Structure 1
Amino acid sequence: MSAGDAAPGIVAIVLVTLATLLIGTWGLRFSRTTSDFLVASRTVAPRLNASAIGGEYLSAASFLGVAGLVLTFGADMLWYPIGWTAGYLVLLVLVAAPLRRSGAYTLPDFAEARLGSRAVRAVCSLLVVAIGWLYLLPQFQGAGLTLRSAIGAPTWVGPVIVGLVVLVNTASGGMRSITFVQAFQYWLKLTALLIPAAVLVAIWLGDGSPGTGSAGAAGDWSVPLAPAGGQGLYVTYSLILATFLGTMGLPHVVVRFYTNPDGAGARRTTLVVLALLGAFYLLPPIYGALGRVYAAELAASGRTDVLVLELPRLMVGGITGDVLTGLVTAGAFAAFLSTSSGLVIAVAGVLSQDVTGRAFGGRRLDGITAFRVGAVLAVLLPCLVAVSAPHVGVAKTVGLAFAVAASTFCPLLLLGIWWRRLTDAGAVAGLAVGGLGSGVAAGITLAWSGDHGWAGVLVEQPAAWSVPLALTTMVVVSLMTARRVPPHTGRFMVRLHTPETLELGRG
């Protein structure tokens, strides 16, 4: 790649990095206590929080992966953005307000408070770290792809830069600082897709004889998600289940609802998030559709994840193409930074409470120091994996993270909030079954490739069997251990479901 071709990408990446560090440094002045680092002292207003959630939730899979999937497989891939958005509707109705009223800082905090069990807390902590690392991996991989496409850098450069920037921001100011950064990055990502999309659509409308190449196997706009028949139907339903239910189990999503002042604020936040996500997800399919006309060769070469980055230059020449390329590169880089920041906050918060705070010769570190050590650990492993194995599909890895979250924390939250007969033994059994089942399936999927018939389909899309299995296990084991229902369950359930504005009378 020539220096001229790389210049727009370099400028974009430098500007986004500087803006991220400057906003994070500005937010640092508000971070003073451990509560500031973990949950921004529960003072984030709904509109600011919604923008921050949009910033961290719209990850590499949203910015790059959706367009690449539409390019390759057609319109059926729109189930991904539909599911990722609809997951917040489920979260709004069933989880958001009660979870905020629990008073917890993290998912393990909620589990221990609800069930009174250190064992449940330990299992939840392990799962938060595992899901966080699994979700961080595609963010770092996407950064490597972006820098290679935009400036011709080796694939290891992206993970290293994103890891360092995220570590500096999260370790210096925690949740309080990152909230401002992520809110800014949502609007940057929306702008970075919207303006080029408008220009490219105008060019397509004015093109009298556009290309007719098709990336789909049948030259159709709607190639099935999987081979036709029963397998395709199974994959579709499994994907819907994973994306609809996985959202409520993602640690970096859940932790943001602890930052609202109250349960009503959490609900208002979720409503605004639905609007923000709906607006954003209108845009990536446009790139996928245009790519099927102008960039089918990317699908043939297996480079679908870079479609958004390369389409402007394929359709527009000269300075206009360079400017549009710089803009989408800036948006993509912001996507990796914002989502990675949220994940590191979630993982570091759990590590600081359950690992790093107690791991130094029995001497407990103070809360902020333990958080910063946890942030280093949260970044290190996925960054090393991304450097050594850069070729795993971005959207596939994120989909597996959703499946694991749906198979573990979704049943725990639903039953913990709405069913008073849940016991610690039932929770541990369900988490183990769902976590091991979906986790082993995710490991096999990442390690192996190719068509393995029904066995391969069941492993690549485990949610359709792992979620019901985990939920059933929790219910059955809880009923078998009914005497282990904590004595404080009634009081805790009242706390979860009583609005803060309701004054309870005495008597």
Structure 2
Amino acid sequence: MNTLAVLAVLAVSLVTLAVGAVGLRISRTTSDFYVASRAVGPVLNASAISGEYLSAASFLGVAGLVLLRGVDMLWYPVGWTAGYLMLLVFVAAPLRRSRAYTLPDFAEFRVESLPARRVASALVVLIGLLYLVPQFQGAGLTLSALTGSPTWVGAMVVALVVLANVVSGGMRSITIAQAFQYWLKLVALLTPLVFLLRRWLDTGAVHAHLDSRAWVEPMQGPHSTYLVYSLILATFLGTMGLPHVVVRFYTNRDGHAARRTTVTVLGMLSAFYLLPTMYGVLGRVYASDLIASGRTDSVVLELPRRILGGTGGDLLTALLGAGAFAAFLSTSSGLVVSVGGVLGQDLLGRWLGGVPAFRVAGVLAVAAALVLTLLSSGLAVAHAVELAFAVAASTFCPLLLLGIWWRGLTAPGAVAGLSVGGILSSSAVLTVMLGGAPSGWLGAVVTQPALVSVPAAFASMIGVSLLTRAHLPAHLARTLVRLHTPEDLDLDRGSYHPENARS
């Protein structure tokens, strides 16, 4: 057991709980819990978004996949970062102007349809749970590597801390915690890397294990071209459909602040993703045996002990352990807020309402994710997250792009596109997570479904909308004006917007 690492993990958990206690004192209204009263500044919000976005896949999974498969896996950090460029150009400001609390709110606001809202609610819950599973898996892996405990222990620790924090103060509470956790994760990866690179260069082992052609040349192996382009599509388009990312833009003061936030996030993510890539390269030199043992996701935590050893290695491992737990806590908190918000509004709101419904929904979300974590197979953390991206890209990405930029979208079209994209992508994802993909071309499609499911979702949404042009929303013109007009213009009189909507 690495005692220093255990203490570091404990410290991160206690700080998160302390922030939750503060949130309990300052969070009172429904708006506080759902969107932090829409009063978060761009810099703080960018730090919180980056902290929330950089999950177990970013902290551990990217390095593990680079170690395992080489340059093809660089599309993960590139795509996850570029997704924010797509979000900046097409979605950020109009989405903030919609005044929604959640993605189902936006769906109902745009097409004025209760069935569309219900389908969107189901998809938010599905994506949130799929994304929570790798966070709990990563927590179990980390605590197991540090202490030798069963993997379920780490998952349970993260679940309890996140639940306490979210239930205490909701979005207002986790915003400060996530902003702190971004900077902790950056320092936790950067500081050990300085020492590890210096030792690597001093020992002259620069080229060891780096000469494998399949590892350094892109698109090697069967169906590699399809797999790479499907991955690119999922990561580029999936970001704008992730519920826990999108809900963050509702916390900005206005559309201009949402754009400033997104630009800042791009810079923060670009700086961060340089680091896990280097850990993957160092793992190829010093920890290539992890490939055979199937423990590539632990390479970040293994390297200080293998390269430096002694007390210095233990200290750096402790810092990495703290950063890893910060990643699990920050992303899990955002996911529970987004899923809890939807369940609280659409499922429990009629019985409990407001803050009590949000809190009960948070408990249900965490419990469901824990069960799914125990049932899922040993899937690589980064790949598990990418599958959630594929579902988001196949559902909410078409809804947001067409809903914001195409006046022809109808309620039947929205429901059709969400259903087709959701069924195709989620069927593939659940097959991989619970049983494993088949062989051949079908296996490639199931492993990376986005290149099939995303075009199918767009085609269904557009095709059905064209066939149902008589069902355009009654307030369409006013809705589009609101989405594309700066907030300093008064458009409130007689307008239809989500804050007045009732499910």
- What amino acid is aligned across from residue 482 of structure 1 in structure 2? R
**Alpha carbons 2:79, 2:232 under 8 Å: kept:** yes
Q: 2:307 aligns with which of 315, 318, 321?
A: 315
Correspondence 1:455 to 2:442: yes
**Alpha carbons 1:155, 1:390 under 8 Å: kept:** no
TM-score (norm 2): 0.95
- What amino acid is aligned across from residue 68 of structure 2 in structure 1? T
Structure 1 partner of 2:242: 250
Q: 1:333 aligns with which of 325, 328, 332?
A: 325
Separation in structure 1 between the aligned mates of residue 439 and residue 392 of structure 2, nearest angstrom: 25
Structure 1 pair 468–209 and aligned structure 2 pair: CA distance change class (3 A):
closer
CA deviation map 1:184-232 (0-9, x unaligned): 0000000000000111001111113468235x9x45542545625xx21
Structure 2 partner of 1:481: 468
Structure 2 partner of 1:160: 156
CA deviation map 1:82-139 (0-9, x unaligned): 0000000000000000000001000000110111110000000000000000000000
SS of residue in 2 equivalent to 1:282: helix
**Alpha carbons 1:56, 1:342 under 8 Å: kept:** yes
Separation in structure 1 between the aligned mates of residue 45 and residue 172 of structure 2, nearest angstrom: 11
Q: 2:216 aligns with which of 211, 217, 222?
A: 222
- What amino acid is aligned across from residue 119 of structure 1 in structure 2? P
- What amino acid is aligned across from residue 312 of structure 1 in structure 2? P
**Alpha carbons 1:241, 1:464 under 8 Å: kept:** yes
Separation in structure 1 between the aligned mates of residue 364 and residue 218 of structure 2, nearest angstrom: 40
Structure 1 partner of 2:459: 472
Matches within 5 A, 1:355-370: 355-358=347-350, 364-370=351-357
SS of residue in 1 equivalent to 2:11: helix
Structure 2 partner of 1:11: 7
State the 1:257 CA deviation: 0.2
Structure 2 partner of 1:282: 274
CA deviation map 1:303-335 (0-9, x unaligned): 000000111101011110000000000000110
What's the % identity of the aligned pairs? 63
Separation in structure 1 between the aligned mates of residue 107 and residue 260 of structure 2, nearest angstrom: 24
Separation in structure 2 between the aligned mates of residue 120 and residue 380 of structure 1, nearest angstrom: 26
SS of residue in 1 equivalent to 2:348: coil
Structure 2 partner of 1:387: 374
Separation in structure 2 between the aligned mates of residue 473 and residue 210 of structure 1, nearest angstrom: 51
Structure 1 partner of 2:483: 496
SS of residue in 1 equivalent to 2:208: coil
- What amino acid is aligned across from residue 448 of structure 1 in structure 2? G
**Alpha carbons 1:123, 1:428 under 8 Å: kept:** yes
State the 1:300 CA deviation: 1.5
- What amino acid is aligned across from residue 461 of structure 2 in structure 1? M
State the 1:448 CA deviation: 3.4
Q: 2:94 aligns with which of 86, 94, 98?
A: 98
CA deviation map 1:124-157 (0-9, x unaligned): 0000000000000000000000000011111110
Structure 2 partner of 1:361: none
State the 1:372 CA deviation: 0.2
TM-score (norm 1): 0.95
Separation in structure 2 between the aligned mates of residue 466 and residue 351 of structure 1, nearest angstrom: 26
Separation in structure 2 between the aligned mates of residue 85 and residue 378 of structure 1, nearest angstrom: 27
Separation in structure 2 between the aligned mates of residue 487 and residue 293 of structure 1, nearest angstrom: 63
Separation in structure 1 between the aligned mates of residue 93 and residue 392 of structure 2, nearest angstrom: 20
State the 1:375 CA deviation: 0.3
- What amino acid is aligned across from residue 329 of structure 1 in structure 2? G
Matches within 5 A, 1:372-451: 372-389=359-376, 391-449=378-436
SS of residue in 2 equivalent to 1:252: helix
119-128 vs 436-445, which deviates more? 436-445
State the 1:9 CA deviation: 1.9
Q: CA RMSD in A?
A: 1.5
Structure 2 partner of 1:303: 295
SS of residue in 2 equivalent to 1:156: helix
SS of residue in 1 equivalent to 2:151: coil
Structure 2 partner of 1:185: 181
CA deviation map 1:28-80 (0-9, x unaligned): 32211010000000000000000000011000000000000110111221100
Separation in structure 1 between the aligned mates of residue 53 and residue 13 of structure 2, nearest angstrom: 19
- What amino acid is aligned across from residue 367 of structure 2 in structure 1? L
**Alpha carbons 1:96, 1:266 under 8 Å: kept:** yes
Correspondence 1:169 to 2:161: no
Separation in structure 2 between the aligned mates of residue 8 and residue 313 of structure 1, nearest angstrom: 13
Unaligned runs of 5+ in 2: 494-503
SS of residue in 2 equivalent to 1:466: helix
Q: How many residues align?
A: 492
Separation in structure 2 between the aligned mates of residue 272 and residue 209 of structure 1, nearest angstrom: 37
CA deviation map 1:417-444 (0-9, x unaligned): 0111100000001111000000111112
State the 1:451 CA deviation: 6.4
Separation in structure 2 between the aligned mates of residue 383 and residue 433 of structure 1, nearest angstrom: 27
**Alpha carbons 1:74, 1:222 under 8 Å: kept:** yes
Structure 1 pair 209–36 and aligned structure 2 pair: CA distance change class (3 A):
closer
CA deviation map 1:284-312 (0-9, x unaligned): 00000001111100111110000001111
**Alpha carbons 1:31, 1:173 under 8 Å: kept:** yes
